[in-house]
Structure 1
Amino acid sequence: ASVFRHTLASRVNTVCSYCIAALIISALARGEFAGRSEMCLLYQSGAAQCTINISIVPNEYFEVPFDSNMNRTKNRPLVRGQISPLHAVSFALACGVPGVALLTLAVNPLTGFLGALNIFLYTCCYTPLKRLSITNTWVGAVVGAIPPVMGWTAATGCLEPGALLLGGFLYSWQFPHFNALSWNLREDYSRGGYRMMSVTHPAMCRRVALRHSLGLIALSTVAPALDVTTWTFPLISLPINLYISYLAFRFYHKGDRNSARKLFFCSLWHLPMLLLLALTCKKYSRSQEDAALPPASLPPSLPAN
C-alpha cells in the first residue's frame, strides 16, 4: 500500500487518494470508454473508496492492543476509545457490502471480484501477517497494486497485459516508498511487535527498495511494447525514474535516517507524476485516431456499385 502518511490517520487518507487517482488514470490511459458514461466512472470510484474503507477498519480493529504501544498509532480513534468497536465494524460493513455490490452490478462482475479479493487480502492475509512474517510487505504491495487493475477492468471489462503493467507500477513503487518510511519507524514497529523488513532484515530492506526502484525503469520501457503508451513515455519518465533510483541507491549505501527520508518524500510525488506522464503519452488505437479527425480530413469512401 501505499502510501503514505505523516501520522497514520492522515496517511490513510493519502493512500485512498493515491489509490483512487491511480484507478482513474489507469482507466483513462487506455482510452476505451466508448459506450461508457461518466456515471460508470463515478460508480467505480465511489465503490472503490468503500472497499478501501472496509479494508482499513478491520486492520485498526484487530490491532488496538498493539497500536497503543506505538507513538504514531496511539492516537487512533479506536485506541483512544473515541468510537466503539461496534461502530467501527458497522461502518466497515456499511461501506463494504454496498461497495462490492455496486462494483459488481453497476460496473462489471470482474471489477467487483477484484474489490472483494482486495478486501480479503488486506483483512485476512496482510493484517495478521504483519506480526508473523516479513512477507506481509509483499502481500501489502499486491493489495496496493489491485486498484489500478480495477480501473482498467472497469473501463474494458477484461483483464489485459496493460492492466497488469499499471498494477506493476504500483507494486514496485510501494517498496521504495514503504521501506523508506518504515526505516525511520523501526523502533515503533519493534515496540508494537510487527515483523517488518526494516526491523528484522535491515540489509534486505534497503536492497529491495533499490531493486524495485530500478524495476520502475524496466516497467516504463515495457509500456509502449504493450501498446499502453507511446515510445515517448520511457524517455520523458526516465529522469524521475533515475532520480528515485539514485535516492534508493543512497539509501542502500548509507542506510541512515536522512537518506530514507529523502527517498520517502520523493516517492510521494514520483507516483502521481509517473501516472500523469503515462496518461499524456497514452497510445491511441487507429479507430480512435480516425474518430478524432474532422469529417473533411477523413479519406473519401469508395462509392457503392
Structure 2
Amino acid sequence: MKLVSNPNGFCILCCCFLNSPLLAVSFAISCAVPGIALLTLGVNPLTGALGALNIVLYTCCYTPLKRISIVNTWVGAVVGAIPPVMGWTAATGSLDAGALLLGGILYSWQFPHFNALSWGLREDYSRGGYCMMSVTHPAMCRRVALRHCLALIGLSSLAPILDVTTWTFPIISLPINLYISYLGFRFYRDADRGSSRKLFFCSLWHLPLLLLLMLTCKKTWYEKDDKKESIS
C-alpha cells in the first residue's frame, strides 16, 4: 500500500505494468480479434483470412526471425505485400491476377526500400543482435536490391498482359522504374551511404507515384465486360 499511496511509486508501478509482455499481448489480441471479425463479417471471409494470416506471419515468423536469419527480410516483404492484396479482395471478393500483381509490386519494392535503409544502420543492427543482410551478407544486400528494382519494370509490363491496366502504364512508368534501377545499380556498385540514401529516398516517392500511374491507367470493369462479350 505504501507503494500505491506514494505518487512516485504509483508511477513506477504503472510503468512496470505498461511495459509488461502480458499487457502487450493482451492489447494485441484485443485489437486483432475484433479487427479480423470486422473484416470477415463486414467485408468478406477471404479478406479476414488474409488479415489473420498477416498477423501470424508478422508476430510468429517475421519478428522472431530478425535475430535468427536473414530470411526475415523475405518474410517481411510478404507481410508488406499482403495489405494491397486485401484491398483487392475487399473490392472484388476474389484472389485473382490483379491482386497478385499488386502484391508482387509491393513485394519487390520493399527490397530496394529496406535494403537501402538498413545499409546506413548496419552498426546499430549488429550491436542489437539483429540478423540482417546488410550486416551478414553485404554483397547480397546490394545485389537483391538491384534485382528487385529491375523486377519492377517486369511487373509493370505484366499489368496490361493481365488485363489490369492499359498498355500506357508500362510506358509512362518506365522512366521512374529506370531511375530507381539506376540508383539500385549505383548502390550495388558504390556500396556507400550516399548511394544507399539516394535509393532509399527515391523509394519513398517511387511507390506512390507508380501506384498513381497504375490507377490512372486502370482497366474499367465495363471495358473488361465488353471485351468478354466481343470474344464470345
TM above 0.5:
yes
Q: Is structure 2 residue 166 aligned with structure 1 residue 194?
A: no
Q: Is structure 2 residue 125 aligned with structure 1 residue 156?
A: no
- Equivalent of 2:190, from 254, 257, 262? 254
- How far apart are the structure 1 equivalents of 2:94 and 2:156? 22
What secondary structure does 1:246 align onto? helix
1:232 — aligned with what? 168
Q: Is structure 2 residue 61 aligned with structure 1 residue 88?
A: no
Provide Cα deviations, 1:109-159, integer angstroms capped at 9, x if missing partner.
000000000000010001111111111100000000000000010111110
- Equivalent of 1:123, from 59, 64, 70? 59
- Equivalent of 2:150, from 214, 217, 224? 214
1:138 — aligned with what? 74
**5+ unaligned residues in a row in structure 1: which ranges?**
1-79, 291-305
2:112 — aligned with what? 176
- Once the two structures are superposed, the pairs formed by residues 1-305 of structure 1 within 5 Å of their partners are 83-85=18-20, 86-286=22-222
Q: 1:230 to 1:93 in 2, by over 3 A?
A: same
- How far apart are the structure 2 equivalents of 1:157 and 1:134? 34
- How far apart are the structure 1 equivalents of 2:168 and 2:27? 45
Moved beyond 6 Å, runs of 4+: none
What secondary structure does 2:29 align onto? helix
1:25 — aligned with what? none
2:3 — aligned with what? none
Greater fraction of residues in helix:
2
Asked which structure has the greater RCO (Cα within 8 Å, sep 6+), the reply is 1
**TM-score (structure 2 length as normaliser):** 0.87
Q: 1:141 to 1:199 in 2, by over 3 A?
A: same
Number of residues of Structure 1 aligned to a counterpart in Structure 2: 211
- How far apart are the structure 1 equivalents of 2:93 and 2:76? 25
State the 1:284 CA deviation. Answer: 1.7
Q: 1:216 to 1:288 in 2, by over 3 A?
A: closer
State the 1:95 CA deviation. Answer: 1.2
**TM-score (structure 1 length as normaliser):** 0.67
Identical counterparts, % of pairs: 80
What secondary structure does 2:173 align onto? helix
- How far apart are the structure 1 equivalents of 2:17 and 2:170? 48
RMSD: 1.6
State the 1:81 CA deviation. Answer: 6.3
Instruction: Tell which structure's C-alpha radius of gyration is larger.
Output: 2
